[in-house]
Amino acid sequence: MEPTLRDPTDPLIDHAEGQHFLNEAFKVIVEEVLCKGTDATQKVCEWKEPDELAVLLDLELREMGEPRGRLLQRVRDVAKFSVKTSHPRFFNQQFAGVDYHSLAGRFLTEALNTNLFTYEVAPVFVLMENEVLRSLRQLLGWTEGDGIFCPGGSMSNMYAINLARYRLFPEVKSQGLWSVPRLAIFTSPESHYSVRKGAAFLGFGTDSLILVNVDDRGHMIPEDLDEKIELSKSQGVVPLLVSCTSGTTVQGAFDPLDQIADVCGKHKLWMHVDAAWGGSVLFSKQHRSLMKGIDRADSVAWNPHKMLLAGLQCSALLLKDTSQCHGANASYLFQQDKFYDVNLDVGDKSVQCSRKADCLKLWLMWKAIGSNGFEERLFRSVKHTFFYWSVNVCFEFPLCAQPEFVNVCFWFIPPSLRGKEGNADYPSRLAKVAPVIKERMMKKGTLMVGYQPLGDKVNFFRVTVFSPLISHKDLDFFLDEIERLGINL
Amino acid sequence: MEPTLRDPTDPLIDHAEGQHFLNEAFKVIVEEVLCKGTDATQKVCEWKEPDELAVLLDLELREMGEPRGRLLQRVRDVAKFSVKTSHPRFFNQQFAGVDYHSLAGRFLTEALNTNLFTYEVAPVFVLMENEVLRSLRQLLGWTEGDGIFCPGGSMSNMYAINLARYRLFPEVKSQGLWSVPRLAIFTSPESHYSVRKGAAFLGFGTDSLILVNVDDRGHMIPEDLDEKIELSKSQGVVPLLVSCTSGTTVQGAFDPLDQIADVCGKHKLWMHVDAAWGGSVLFSKQHRSLMKGIDRADSVAWNPHKMLLAGLQCSALLLKDTSQCHGANASYLFQQDKFYDVNLDVGDKSVQCSRKADCLKLWLMWKAIGSNGFEERLFRSVKHTFFYWSVNVCFEFPLCAQPEFVNVCFWFIPPSLRGKEGNADYPSRLAKVAPVIKERMMKKGTLMVGYQPLGDKVNFFRVTVFSPLISHKDLDFFLDEIERLGINL
């Protein structure tokens, strides 16, 4: 049956009605996500089994639309059953907390709904992205260069690898990897898994990854890097790039950039730094020494959506390189006979076509609190971490290692395991503790924190305290609650 | 100097103050972007030269933060100088218009700020994404399969190519392209440039692209495809994949999928369909025949952020393949000893780690208007296009070709060129018309539409009318305004 057309000359959407709905939805969002969702007396998550949740949400999409009241209830339900990542008891990941200036920037970005590819459709964002990238580069100690916001740090890391490949063998862009010798990418086993994914996606294959040894705190060992580069060369493989990490995901380790830069210089390798997590230390005069040598890098990935609270997604790739590696010169978009400087049409720097504007939220927050505000937040996070844990660590909560940054890795030793360290089954029993406590906390809804094994260390908790919303009371609750949840284990 | 800490046990962010700012910012957004920004009597863009705009926006980021009033003015300025893509005179790109349900979904997504990688942090979004993808697959006529939302159609296309490579040569994931024979990707010269970018990024090189001839309406010619596959084989190259297009960017052409599927079947090639633009015809019983044969594809990219108004970014990749091509099994995120079904931890389907939830905005809009609502919108767009242009085309506005979909490609012939078609300099003079009119419309701020050359056709305008906010009055204005702007050329 042919759909019935209303007056075909009139719009199908009524603005007044639409804006009324948006207003109502906004109130629900503020109430459920920003008020209840940040209230320590409310749950951080409302755990439901998947089957049960699917029924509660009534997800099925149908032929007929629904009335406004029903839709507002849906907005409320989505909020209710979602995890409250801005809650003061959410420590599960390296995003947490809310900055209201950033959030306002995100709403504005969504409402403007434009595409960061040409100056004509995104004049403000083109100039703003340039300025934000310039300011981030300045923190690296670079006076020039380039950059782009990517949909996440994994993409930023991939861009860096692709750029390194293009610099060494520009013909690879047209002729592919078949036309060049086998290449090797060096990184540590504690680097982010996206380096591995990137090696596969970009056609190198994961065997192209050479894992460089780390010390017991998780830092890449420059001498081992040097040896492995030499070994690769002797095997006829061309060393391409070292992907260092500033702030590893689990331990928060900072690779020794200065010494790695020496090795890269000696062998003429592209030096990439995955500072997705740790980059924010550059705002702090006290802590920026963790990244000493960053000025010598060729490329840096830095995710302001993590520690800076810019909100997902906000990932900057900063480059010394200014080549047009990714260009494809699409003539329907990047016309060369435009009336303005077509260098402002930045879309050809990207492998995306549609690209969200991820700069405004960071820019607005930066304007609101200034570099000093970021410094204060960073300083406070690190100080909290060091101070709090130096006071509260005890035999019930032994650390896996002294924290270097805001990552704290620790076990909870339940009563039944205390003093049993010598027993043969101790590691296997300890390994089962964190998963059980995790299940209990999720079902109770009082806390969220992650766990994982690493190397020969069995399952331990990793907490990263960086949200400026966290008080000492929340940290006290954190340890007490883990103890309550695990006391009978 | 050490930053001054306030009471170090208290949070740094005040919720009441933050929410007050957000409320004020929300009002500005509604007023500037959604009221003024959709009002036909207001400008669609407020053109400024880049240098002037940079000064007006005062982009520089400083040490000190700014007071609330100043920040609200910044929100207003960003809105004021941004292009109003929801304005009824914005025809510049294949995103335009606003759906308020979708926008509410986007605000909610931003406020929830979670990451679509595990069920534990994104229970609602994991289930919802599955359901939305299932519903989209249903429209393809598939009863099973997989899929993922990607940050844009370019990424979706790249995923498809990578999956095809993995299916044919699973060893490529570890050993890289050096371990496999040269591969070829077939597409038409009118396909999206992301296929070219993808070939370079994934390591194939752009020479791996074999361009299949199109007919004069821009459709891939299956017989030529067949011949080129045979030719590749005879040259020792392994044909990998055909990337067809449903709705080409410029002409809106739909490749003949059924016949291409025959060729793919004969040669056992992966059939990918880039339906980023045209996929939405599947909602319409009248028009879905444009994609006859889609049920035979291996993968489909479909961007609801285009015609469906879901808002940037919303790009679905739909797959028959259910292999775990992109998995890297990061043990800190995808623990196998979790208490719930770890198949719900969908992050390892992606090459991203952080991944925005792009499903909610589409889901909420779909709930609001139903499949019938999408059908009505689609039907109306196509009907408008065909009807309007059949009436209004004349010697001043000749079409480049009869429209097949909502893309209309046409020239404006200014008075000085009328009747001069035979002159030797006619094409070169006509080529200069669209850029001048474009400059004038941008500076006047009354209209935005794009132009480009294609093949031997010199610069022409391409308009795509699909926003449900567009009335016949807007279309009348559109042609009249182009004439006004170009009457003295």
Write the pLDDT tens digit of every residue in B284-332.
999 999 999 999 999 999 999 999 999 999 999 999 988 878 888 888 8
Distances in Å between the Cα of B72 and the Cα atoms of A30, A148, A336, B254 are 19, 27, 37, 46
B470-489 confidence digits (pLDDT tens): 988 899 999 999 999 999 99
pLDDT surpassing 70 at residue A58: yes
User: Is residue A389 a contact partner of residue A408, using CB atoms and an 8 Å limit?
Assistant: yes
pLDDT reported for residue A7: 62
pLDDT surpassing 80 at residue A9: no
A38, A203, A439: residue with CB nearest B203: A203
Q: Three-class SS of residue B249?
A: coil
Beta bridge partners of A246: A254
Confidence label for B1 from pLDDT (cuts 50, 70 and 90): very low
Mean pLDDT across B209-223: 97
Mean pLDDT across A330-334: 88
Alpha-carbon gap, residue B378 to B176, rounded angstroms: 43
- H helices present in A141-221, as ranges: 153-168, 172-175, 193-201
Mean pLDDT across B198-206: 98
- H helices present in A58-99, as ranges: 68-81
Q: B332, A86: Cβ pair inside 8 Å?
A: no
Q: Does A392 lie at the interface with B, CB-CB under 8 angstroms? A: no
Q: Which are the contacts of A1, defined by CB distance < 8 A and separation ≥ 6? A: none
pLDDT reported for residue B6: 54
More confident residue, B329 or B127: B127
Sort out which chain B residues have CB atoms less than 8 A from A430's CB and list them.
none
Mean pLDDT across A243-253: 97
Amino acid at A471: S
Q: Does B374 lie at the interface with A, CB-CB under 8 angstroms? A: no
Q: Which of A56, A87, A108, A113 to mutate to test the interface with B (most CBs of B within 10 A)?
A: A113
B26, B303, B371: residue with CB nearest A61: B371
Give percent of chain A with pLDDT exceeding 70: 98
Mean pLDDT across B338-362: 94
Alpha-carbon gap, residue B212 to B228, rounded angstroms: 7
C-alpha distance from B162 to closest chain A C-alpha (Å) = 7
Alpha-carbon gap, residue B164 to B298, rounded angstroms: 9
Q: Does A344 lie at the interface with B, CB-CB under 8 angstroms? A: yes
pLDDT surpassing 70 at residue B150: yes
Q: B100, A33: Cβ pair inside 8 Å?
A: no
Lowest mean pLDDT among A236-245, A383-392, A434-443, B299-308: A383-392
| Global pTM value | 0.97
Helix B472-486 vs helix B433-444: crossing angle, to nearest 10:
110
A71-105 confidence digits (pLDDT tens): 999 999 999 999 999 999 999 999 999 999 999 99
Q: Which of residues 293-322 of B touch A (CB under 8 A)?
A: 303, 305, 311-313, 315
Alpha-carbon gap, residue B430 to A358, rounded angstroms: 39
Average pLDDT, whole number, for chain A? 95
Q: B372, A63: Cβ pair inside 8 Å?
A: yes
Handedness of CA A476, A479, A483, A484 (dihedral sign): positive
B240-272 confidence digits (pLDDT tens): 999 999 999 999 999 999 999 999 999 999 999
Whose tokens are 């074999």? That residue is: B210
Q: Three-class SS of residue A151?
A: coil
pLDDT reported for residue A394: 81
pLDDT reported for residue B105: 98
Q: Three-class SS of residue A451?
A: strand
CA-based nearest residue to A404, from A197, A214, A124:
A214
Alpha-carbon gap, residue B320 to B143, rounded angstroms: 9
In this structure, what are the phi and psi dihedrals at residue A334, rounded to the nearest 5 degrees?
Answer: -110, 60
| B67-B69-B73-B76 Cα dihedral, nearest 10 degrees | 120
Q: Which of residues 10-29 of B touch A (CB under 8 A)?
A: 10-13, 15, 17-19, 21-23, 25-26, 29
Q: Does B243 lie at the interface with A, CB-CB under 8 angstroms? A: no
C-alpha distance from A344 to closest chain B C-alpha (Å) = 9
pLDDT surpassing 50 at residue B146: yes
pLDDT surpassing 90 at residue B390: no
Sheet hosting strand B270-274, strand order edge to edge: B146-150, B315-319, B299-302, B270-274, B238-245, B183-187, B209-211
Whose tokens are 């993995």? That residue is: B166
Distances in Å between the Cα of B1 and the Cα atoms of A284, A372, A384, A387, B7 are 10, 11, 19, 20, 18
B124, B198, B473: residue with CB nearest A57: B124
B31-62 confidence digits (pLDDT tens): 999 999 999 999 999 999 999 999 999 999 99
pLDDT surpassing 80 at residue B358: yes
pLDDT reported for residue A384: 81
Q: Three-class SS of residue B357?
A: coil
C-alpha distance from A409 to closest chain B C-alpha (Å) = 12
Confidence label for A459 from pLDDT (cuts 50, 70 and 90): very high
- Which residues in A267-414 belong to E strands, given as ranges? 270-274, 299-302, 315-319, 407-410
Q: Does B394 lie at the interface with A, CB-CB under 8 angstroms? A: no
pLDDT reported for residue A3: 45
Number of Cβ pairs closer than 8 Å across A and B?
A: 565
Average pLDDT, whole number, for chain B? 95
Alpha-carbon gap, residue B148 to B355, rounded angstroms: 10
Q: What is the complex's ipTM, to 2 decimals?
A: 0.97
Distances in Å between the Cα of A195 and the Cα atoms of A154, A273, A279, B95, B351 are 7, 11, 17, 33, 10
pLDDT reported for residue B54: 97
Q: B174, A471: Cβ pair inside 8 Å?
A: no
Alpha-carbon gap, residue B151 to B169, rounded angstroms: 26
A168-224 confidence digits (pLDDT tens): 999 999 999 999 999 999 999 999 999 999 999 999 999 999 999 999 999 999 999
Alpha-carbon gap, residue B369 to A63, rounded angstroms: 8
Mean pLDDT across A273-279: 98
CA-based nearest residue to B80, from B132, B33, B25, B145:
B33
Burial of B169 per CB tally in 10 Å (0-12, 13-18, 19+): middle
In this structure, what are the phi and psi dihedrals at residue A211, rounded to the nearest 5 degrees?
Answer: -90, 125
Alpha-carbon gap, residue A414 to A483, rounded angstroms: 8
pLDDT surpassing 90 at residue B8: no
Lowest mean pLDDT among A206-210, A256-260, B82-86, B390-394: B390-394
pLDDT reported for residue B123: 98
Our measurement of the distance from residue B367's CA atom to the centroid of its chain's CA atoms, rounded to an integer in Å, reads 22
User: Is residue B489 a contact partner of residue B436, using CB atoms and an 8 Å limit?
Assistant: yes
CA contacts within 13 A on the Cβ side of B319: 23
Give percent of chain B with pLDDT exceeding 90: 88
Q: Does B164 lie at the interface with A, CB-CB under 8 angstroms? A: no
Q: Which are the contacts of B41, defined by CB distance < 8 A and separation ≥ 6? A: none
